[in-house]
Amino acid sequence: MILCFSLRARLRAGKQCPVQPEPSCTWGPALYNQDDLVALREKEGVNDLVPGLTGWAQVNGRDDLPIAEKVKIEAEYLGRRSFVFDLLILFLTLKNVVTKKGVSH
């Protein structure tokens, strides 16, 4: 309940969007390659976007993607973003959740 309220508050405040690349987290379990990911995102301008709950890279392989490919896909989103494209990503996210695509555990 608190998480849901916090998420809604972040969405309303414009600190998070329903669709855009997920943020590079500095909290929680650190990824061994986090610095590489942040540097590539900076280079492509992806870090300038407001973080999102889901994104183009998430529906196209998520953690199965190599870092460079993930950033390439996120940069593609940056160039293609639109309301209709966001609706497609939301639909694909829902489809992936229902079919459990990409779940390894």
pLDDT tens profile 14-43: 665 666 555 554 433 445 457 788 888 889
Whole-number Å distance between alpha carbons of 9 and 23: 17
pLDDT in tens, 57-97: 889 987 788 888 988 999 999 999 899 999 999 999 999 88
Whether residue 55 contacts residue 74, with contact meaning beta carbons closer than 8 Å, is answered with yes
Report the residue count for the chain.
Answer: 105
Provide the whole-model pTM: 0.69
- Torsion angle of alpha carbons 88, 94, 96, 99, nearest 10°? -140
